[in-house]
Amino acid sequence: MTPITEVEGRRLALSNLDKVLYTATGTTKGEVLHYYARTAAPLLAHLADRPVSFLRYPDGPDGQLFFTKNPPPGTPDWVRIAEVPRRTADTGRQVVVEDLASLMWAANLVVEFHTHQWRADAPERADRLVLDLDPGAPATAVECCAVALWLRERLGADGLEAYVKTSGSKGLHVLVPLERAPSAEVSAYAKGLAVEAEAAMPELVVHRMRRSLRPGKVFVDHSQNAAAKTTAAPYTLRARAEPTVSTPVTWEEVAGCTDAGQLVFRLGDIEGRLERYGDLLGPLTDPDSAAPLP
pLDDT at 213 over 80: no
CA 43, CA 171: separation in Å to the nearest integer?
A: 20
Give the model's pLDDT for residue 89. Answer: 66
**Domains by residue range for the chain, with CATH:** 4-119 (3.90.920.10), 125-289 (3.30.70.3300)
Q: Report whether pLDDT(253) > 70.
A: yes
Q: Does pLDDT of 165 surpass 90?
A: yes
Torsion of CA 21, 100, 74, 96, to 10 degrees: -110
Taking alpha carbons only, the member of 166, 179, 82 closest to residue 128 is 179
Amino acid identity, position 130? V
Give per-residue pLDDT as tens, 46-102: 999 999 999 999 999 999 999 999 999 999 999 999 999 887 766 799 999 999 999
**Contact call for residues 163 and 176 (beta carbons, < 8 A):** yes
Region 211-223: what's the mean pLDDT? 90
pLDDT in tens, 258-267: 999 999 999 9
How far is Cα 235 from Cα 256, in angstroms, rounded to an integer? 22
Nearest alpha carbon to residue 38 among 284, 272, 293: 272
**pLDDT tens, position by position, 119-162:** 999 999 999 999 999 999 999 999 999 999 999 999 999 999 99
pLDDT of residue 1: 59
pLDDT tier at 40, thresholds 50, 70, 90: very high
224: pLDDT strictly greater than 80: yes
Give the pLDDT score at 87.
76
What pLDDT, on the 0 to 100 scale, is given for residue 91?
A: 72
Average pLDDT, the chain: 96
What mean pLDDT comes out for the span 104-124?
97
